[in-house]
Amino acid sequence: MNWFRNSESLWGRVPIAVAGGLLLATSFPSFNFGVGAFIGVFLTLIAINRMTFFKSFFVGFIGGFAFYGLVLIWLTTYLGPIPWAALTIIEALIFGLGCAIISVVWRWFNSMKNRSLANALTAVAIGAIYTGREYVAGHFPFGGLPWARLGLSQVDNPLAKWAWAIDIAGLSWLIVSVSALITIKFLHPLPQGFGLRARFQNWGSATIALLLTALVPLGIGLIKPEPSGTLRVAAVQGNANAGLFADNPPGSILDKHLTVAKELVSSGGADGVELMVWPENSSDLDPITMVEPNLKITNFVNEELKAPLLFGNKTFRGSDFYNEVDLWLPEKGIADWYDKKRPVPFGEYVPYRSFFMALAPSMIGLIGWDMSPGVRDGIFEVKDNVEVGSLICFEVTIDELNYDLIDSGAQALMIQTNSSDFGRSVQGVQLAAISRMRAIETGRTVVSISTVGVSGIYAPDGSVMQELESFKPDYMVEDIELHKGKTPAMIFGRYIEPLAFGIAIALFLLAVASTLLGKRRAK
């Protein structure tokens, strides 16, 4: 145990960091080992304790590679191991940098004379740096990857309720701060000779912090925003392989969704439906510019559904190519549309195409046309005074887009996604979990519909109202709650990550300046 606390062996720390990274990953679906988030942070901090900047960076990089490598393993079903390895390395470098900054700031706080105050400040500071590191990873490079944020890992645990109050970023900060306080207490035990009472008192603050974090969500119910009625929604999963590189007969994906939708209507299950939702890329022929798909959708909406249809499409406008969602109304046709604002780099467009084409021409050449980012809002008025917001696939992970929809008056959220490229991997499970966390955070019902699954309808408290079996054509019909107003997370949450990032930078600069000044005085 003393070696575990005090050893400064670089290669002794590496396996600890790997174990920490893997345990962090197991807190996410589909492992769902929620306590792994706390143990993973604990081991990661043990691994970098008292390490220098560059040693902490190296150890953190190894732990970060283990973390992201396991969480993002589903990427290997898309284009094989090369994109997975490249993205994992980039994210691990950012993770390692965060660990290095934590190490520097931690050593600086250890020089403070007031031990109790230093422990609390250190724990909160470590939480801020980790959350600031998530902010960086979620924005850089090429728009970032806000996928594996620690606050997203707790969807099946009561801790998820914290997202209603302090946002997903605030939950990350809370988990890391509590874990850091436990780590600090572990690393500074009382000397031999102290009794159990003294040891219990020494652990008092960490124990109270952990109990409050775990027990507060158990004792409170989420206060929903102001109700504004209900909406009868039908969501259709066509079980179509709509992958970016799938080889399908033209129009077959549209036909599969039409077939399931018509079965629903003919069965009488669509009676009273006020909105039908299809997933991203559910029409593989553009009904805006092509006659045949236009007639198919128009006839279905006018003669059978007799209600608005919200579906995924891809279309050209001039030289720009968009991944979009279209709203088709009875007797009116297309009434509104939303172009995906954040196309996926190396999936829907290639940044610096000429550079990357020179590195991997066969792989980059598979993405024949770059999709353009949209500028229109994702708000659709589906009936009088009822507006829903739409996000396309990975956009559900992007905080700013969720804030924009709620600010613009979305009373429910439609997440329309295409998970075909990722087969039966955990990608769909993780995306559904993120949708559930968004339901809690926004206080809105979320309808998440995929081409192949996981598809589900999630209540504002994150509970599962309905879920469909994956890789099976099916549909859901539900009277969903509509809400206006904002949760505390929607009011204040947008400031948490930028604040954490600012605190992290300020603490790092102060720690470096103080260390340099101390060395100069000593000299």
Sequential DSSP letters for 243-299: -TT----TTHHHHHHHHHHHHHHHTTTTTT--EEE--TT--SS-TTT-HHHHHHHHH
Kindly report the backbone phi and psi dihedral angles of residue 458, in degrees, each rounded to the nearest multiple of 5, phi listed first.
Answer: -125, 130
Cα separation, 509 vs 105, in Å, equals 9
- Identify the pLDDT of residue 259: 97
Higher local confidence (pLDDT), 189 or 498: 498
- Identify the pLDDT of residue 220: 75
As a three-state string, the secondary structure of 53-97 is HHHHHHHHHHHHHHHHHHHCHHHHHHHCHHHHHHHHHHHHHHHHH
- Identify the pLDDT of residue 522: 86
Dump pLDDT digits (tens) for 308-366. 999 999 999 999 999 999 999 999 999 999 999 999 998 899 998 888 888 878 777 77
Most distant CA pair in the chain, distance: 87
Starting at the edge strand that comes first in sequence, how are the strands of the sheet with 474-483 ordered?
333-339, 320-329, 309-317, 275-277, 227-237, 474-483
- Would you say 60 and 52 are in contact if contact means Cβ atoms under 8 Å apart? no
Classify the C-alpha dihedral 467-493-393-145 as positive or negative: negative
Q: Is the pLDDT of residue 244 over 90?
A: no
Confidence band of 385 (pLDDT split at 50, 70, 90): very high
- Identify the pLDDT of residue 356: 85
Confidence band of 136 (pLDDT split at 50, 70, 90): very high
- Would you say 296 and 258 are in contact if contact means Cβ atoms under 8 Å apart? yes
Q: Is the pLDDT of residue 36 over 80?
A: yes
Cα separation, 21 vs 66, in Å, equals 5
Task: Tell which residue, 481, 475, 484, 485, has the closest CA to residue 455.
Answer: 475
What is the b/e burial string over 190-202, where b = at least 16 CB atoms within 10 angstroms of the residue's CB? Answer: eeeeeeeeeeeee
**Whole-angstrom Cα Rg for the chain:** 25
Mean pLDDT, residues 131-159: 95
- Identify the pLDDT of residue 118: 83
**DSSP, res 303:** I
Confidence band of 192 (pLDDT split at 50, 70, 90): confident
Kindly report the backbone phi and psi dihedral angles of residue 229, in degrees, each rounded to the nearest multiple of 5, phi listed first.
Answer: 110, -165
Cα separation, 261 vs 281, in Å, equals 15
Q: Is the pLDDT of residue 303 over 80?
A: yes
Query: Given the structure tokens 């109202």, which residue do they identify?
Result: 465
Mean pLDDT, residues 398-416: 97
List the alpha helices (DSSP H) in 81-203. 81-109, 115-137, 162-187, 196-202
Residue 326 buriedness (CB in 10 A; 0-12 / 13-18 / 19+) = buried
Dump pLDDT digits (tens) for 40-59. 999 999 999 999 999 999 99
Confidence band of 300 (pLDDT split at 50, 70, 90): very high
Cα separation, 337 vs 328, in Å, equals 9
Confidence band of 83 (pLDDT split at 50, 70, 90): confident
Cα separation, 257 vs 283, in Å, equals 8
Q: Is the pLDDT of residue 246 over 80?
A: no
Q: Average pLDDT, whole number, for the chain?
A: 93
Domain map (residue ranges) of the chain: 2-223+493-522, 227-486
- Identify the pLDDT of residue 515: 86
Task: Tell which residue, 428, 422, 342, 452, has the closest CA to residue 75.
Answer: 422
Beta bridge mates, 324: 313, 339
Which fold is adopted by the domain 227-486? Nitrilase/N-carbamoyl-D-aminoacid amidohydrolase (3.60.110)
Higher local confidence (pLDDT), 245 or 292: 292
Helix (H, G, I), strand (E, B) or coil at 221: coil
- Would you say 44 and 60 are in contact if contact means Cβ atoms under 8 Å apart? yes
Cα separation, 163 vs 243, in Å, equals 32
Of the segments 148-162, 179-193, 416-430, which one has the largest average pLDDT value? 148-162
- Helix (H) / strand (E) containing 24: helix 10-26
Q: List CB contacts of 490: < 8 A, sequence separation 6 or more.
A: 403, 406, 441, 442, 443
Residue type, 404: D
- Identify the pLDDT of residue 218: 86
Cα separation, 186 vs 290, in Å, equals 67
Tell me the whole-structure pTM to 2 decimals: 0.95
Confidence band of 19 (pLDDT split at 50, 70, 90): very high
